[in-house]
A and B are shown apart, each in its own frame.
Chain A
Amino acid sequence: MDSAHPSRGVADRLTGVFWSRPKLLTALLIAPPLLWLGVVYVGSLAALLLQSFYSIDEFSGVVVPEFTLKTYAELLRPSNFDVIVRTVTMAAAVTLASVAVAFPIAFFAARYARGRWKALFYLGVMLPLWSSYLVKVYAWKLILAKEGIVTWAAEGIGAGNVLGAVLAIPVIGGNSLSTSYIGTFLVFVYVWLPYMILPMQAALERVPGSLLEASADLGAGGWRTFRSVILPLALPGIIAGSIFTFSLTLGDYIIPQIIGSSRFFIGQAVYSLQGTAGNIPLAAAFAVVPIVIMLIYLAVARKMGAFDAL
């Protein structure tokens, strides 16, 4: 043994290796998250995509592992296409309603609320997120039930026939609020609203007050300022929020099972097609639909500048 180089411990040697090859350390540190993202996340998505190109044998019900577009053609069958249209329509309606409801709240919070009021606002928006999603949905089922508080209150103030008229509207109406699309819609809006308010409020806070003053100086009224200054500047926030509400509604399979008319949404179709049914290809094809829709949606959102601030 060389006396100038006393024996070195393992850790000491490792330090030496890392010092002489800095890229090795970086690679080692980045490998686990990369593996997670690459294998677990992208890998499972790829497996899903692969499955959707298989088909199921008509007679035996066994999955045939040969590439075909037959399963995607099945998505176009009226009963399956209904499921897609129903889900996308609901997601769009929920998103639009969330924008309409969230904007005034976010605007007030961003531009007027100060100090204690601001804290109260955050608490009010975040509080529902802290309680269980299921508890909220079950609570809404009771609220909207035929013998629930909404019907009771409507009758109490003599608006029972108004509620009846609303429920008599074909397609979206039903036997009671909790068994109609209106009910499903209301609960979706309630549950996803915070995801719209928060990004919207962040965007509105970034609108410089000086621009509003300049707009007023140039003679623009409130409506004109809103349309030409506030809305364009807040648009990225609105789009960011809409990505949440839209994609969350597209994928949800619990709310439509508890509230509504039992007609299937995409998530429920996927859930029931796998398992005993063994129709993994169709389940996978159904699962690809929201992915494609969201990719298109994100492409459009990017065009409109939703990610410019990133």
Chain B
Amino acid sequence: MKSLLVSTTAMAMVVANAAAADMITELGAPEGQVDIVAWPGYIERGETDPAFDWVTKFEEASGCKVNVKTANTSDEMVALMNEGGFDLVTASGDASLRLVAGGRVQPVNTDLIPSWATVDDRLKDAPWHTVDGVHYGTPYMWGPNVLMYNTTVFPEPPTSWSVVFEEQMLPDGQSNKGRVQAYDGPIHVADAAQYLMAHKPELGITSPYELNEDQYAAALDLLRGQRELVSRYWHDAFIQMDDFKNEGVVASGSWPFQVNLLASEGQPIASTIPSEGATGWADTTMMHVNAAHPNCSYLWMEHTLSSNLQSDLSVWFGAVPSVPAACSDGRGMQTQEGCDANGLADFEKIHFWTTPVANCSQGEGACVPYYRWVSDYIGVIGGR
């Protein structure tokens, strides 16, 4: 079995190398369609809301019909790409490197994408899609995990994540106990680690996704204290919004999506990125190694960067465009203020989500791998 494992890994590497050699150097005629695996809400053709459409014009101009298969988790995306039959995927940071390592995606020739130059310089060589200087995709969209709060309880934005981590009096004179929330996924351990980066520098945490045993234990301790404050952890965006409306929750880590939606309903809700910074996510359009429609795929990647997509999607999803110009040049509905509210100005304070692995910058096997985050976080939520 072990030899099988070794040989499949070797094969994967061979496939990856072969793919690197096969990088497309010039575009041919469009094939008439492109098949994309995407997050729900990522590729809209005006069917949910007529104002949000970034597909119809592409189909008319390129002659490539866009077929979308939505996936609800990163694991589903990886599984679909392993099955094959798709050209592109909007992969998040916990899927992108797995796809590269598994030889499922091919390098992208940025010379064939004229708008590559307009991509945010800070994203061009991002480690979640660039391996050994080779680009395996084009940045799609990114966003921070913000601190959402109730403006009647907090007349001034909270300046620290301590409101959700440590028991304290809130500005309205009542304790935060039972009035704050946290995400129920194990990746929330990284938020605790980031808080400790600022408040316990002696632990020497350099990345919230690379924790050795001591740093990890300290993060879990912080989370055990948080359990006392949290009545219910949030998992589903709409349930969290309901908890802010009907359950007396006044502060929680959240996504701009919930903040924008609640604010649009007239709720007293706003968000901030506190002084410690925040964790965040960044998605990449990646191309299958055996993509059946490479020319349409390249045209779509160009379209994602040059059209109204970046601008309108950032409004729709509460995210930040990978092309900064999309915020202000009027190609869509987004404005500079909107981009800043969604986190553009705070890029430097954001640690992007990557899957914690045992072999990290602290050494071989020095870090606590993700599967332990999962089992231990179950214990923390259970009060252990």
Chain A interface residues (CB < 8 Å from chain B)? 56, 59-61, 65, 74, 77-80, 82-83, 86, 141-142, 145-148, 174-176, 178-179, 257-258, 260-264, 269, 272-279, 282
Beta-carbon contact of B231 and A175 below 8 Å: yes
B148-186, CB under 8 A of A: which get 1 and which 0? 000000000000000000000000000000100000111
Chain A nearest CB, measured from B267 CB (Å): 13
Pairs of residues from A and B, 4 with the lowest C-beta to C-beta distance, nearest first: A79-B379, A175-B231, A179-B231, A262-B233
For this complex, 20 residue pairs linking A to B, each with C-beta atoms less than 8 Å apart, are A60-B369, A61-B358, A79-B375, A79-B376, A80-B378, A82-B383, A142-B246, A146-B246, A147-B248, A175-B231, A175-B248, A179-B232, A179-B247, A258-B239, A264-B381, A272-B378, A273-B371, A273-B375, A275-B73, A279-B371
- C-alpha spacing A279/B73, complex, angstroms: 16
Residues in A with CB closer than 8 Å to B248 are 146-147, 175-176
Residues in A with CB closer than 8 Å to B358 are 59-61
- C-alpha spacing A142/B246, complex, angstroms: 7
Q: Is B365 among interface residues, defined by CB-CB distance under 8 A?
A: yes
Contacts A60-B358, A61-B370, A276-B94 hold; do A142 and B242 have CB atoms under 8 A apart? yes
Contacts A79-B382, A175-B178 hold; do A277 and B247 have CB atoms under 8 A apart? no
- C-alpha spacing A276/B376, complex, angstroms: 15
Residues in B with CB closer than 8 Å to A277 are 186, 370-371, 373-375
Residues in A with CB closer than 8 Å to B200 are none
Chain A nearest CB, measured from B117 CB (Å): 34
| Chain A residue with Cβ nearest B369 | A61
Chain B nearest CB, measured from A132 CB (Å): 15
Q: Is B69 among interface residues, defined by CB-CB distance under 8 A?
A: no
| Chain B residue with Cβ nearest A278 | B371
Task: Select A78's contact among B185, B186, B233, B379, beta carbons within 8 Å.
Answer: B379
Residues in A with CB closer than 8 Å to B232 are 175, 178-179, 260-262
Total B residues in contact with A, Cβ cutoff 8 Å:
40
Which residues in chain B, 325-380, are within 8 Å of chain A measured between CB atoms? 355, 357-359, 365, 369-376, 378-379
Chain A nearest CB, measured from B376 CB (Å): 7
Q: Is B29 among interface residues, defined by CB-CB distance under 8 A?
A: no
- C-alpha spacing A176/B242, complex, angstroms: 14
Q: Is B286 among interface residues, defined by CB-CB distance under 8 A?
A: no
- C-alpha spacing A277/B245, complex, angstroms: 33
Q: Is B199 among interface residues, defined by CB-CB distance under 8 A?
A: no
Chain B nearest CB, measured from A180 CB (Å): 8
Beta-carbon contact of B75 and A262 below 8 Å: no
Residues in A with CB closer than 8 Å to B359 are 60
Residues in A with CB closer than 8 Å to B381 are 262-264
Beta-carbon contact of A141 and B376 below 8 Å: no
Q: What 5 additional pairs, Cβ within 8 angstroms, besides A260-B232, A272-B378?
A: A61-B357, A61-B371, A146-B247, A148-B246, A276-B73
Residues in B with CB closer than 8 Å to A148 are 246
| Chain A residue with Cβ nearest B372 | A61
Contacts A264-B381, A276-B355 hold; do A178 and B247 have CB atoms under 8 A apart? yes
Task: Select A258's contact among B178, B236, B373, B379, beta carbons within 8 Å.
Answer: B236
- C-alpha spacing A60/B359, complex, angstroms: 8
Q: Is B62 among interface residues, defined by CB-CB distance under 8 A?
A: no
Residues in A with CB closer than 8 Å to B219 are none
Beta-carbon contact of A82 and B384 below 8 Å: yes
Q: Is B74 among interface residues, defined by CB-CB distance under 8 A?
A: yes
Residues in A with CB closer than 8 Å to B235 are 257
Task: Select A141's contact among B184, B239, B372, B375, beta carbons within 8 Å.
Answer: B239
Chain B nearest CB, measured from A267 CB (Å): 12
Residues in B with CB closer than 8 Å to A175 are 178, 231-232, 247-248
Beta-carbon contact of A145 and B379 below 8 Å: no
Chain A nearest CB, measured from B223 CB (Å): 12
| Chain B residue with Cβ nearest A258 | B239
Q: Is B230 among interface residues, defined by CB-CB distance under 8 A?
A: yes
- C-alpha spacing A214/B379, complex, angstroms: 58
- C-alpha spacing A90/B15, complex, angstroms: 50
- C-alpha spacing A174/B177, complex, angstroms: 11
Beta-carbon contact of B371 and A56 below 8 Å: yes
- C-alpha spacing A258/B238, complex, angstroms: 11
Beta-carbon contact of B371 and A264 below 8 Å: no
Q: Is B61 among interface residues, defined by CB-CB distance under 8 A?
A: no
Beta-carbon contact of A59 and B371 below 8 Å: no
Chain A nearest CB, measured from B21 CB (Å): 29
- C-alpha spacing A83/B377, complex, angstroms: 12
Residues in B with CB closer than 8 Å to A86 are 382
- C-alpha spacing A191/B74, complex, angstroms: 31
Beta-carbon contact of A276 and B75 below 8 Å: yes
Contacts A60-B369, A146-B247, A262-B184 hold; do A174 and B378 have CB atoms under 8 A apart? no
Residues in B with CB closer than 8 Å to A178 are 232, 247
Task: Select B186's contact among A60, A141, A147, A272, beta carbons within 8 Å.
Answer: A272
Residues in A with CB closer than 8 Å to B371 are 56, 61, 273, 277-279
B216-244, CB under 8 A of A: which get 1 and which 0? 00000000000000111101100100100
- C-alpha spacing A65/B1, complex, angstroms: 8
- C-alpha spacing A176/B178, complex, angstroms: 9
Chain A nearest CB, measured from B232 CB (Å): 4
- C-alpha spacing A60/B9, complex, angstroms: 15
- C-alpha spacing A278/B248, complex, angstroms: 36
Chain A nearest CB, measured from B234 CB (Å): 8
Beta-carbon contact of B375 and A282 below 8 Å: yes
Chain B nearest CB, measured from A58 CB (Å): 8
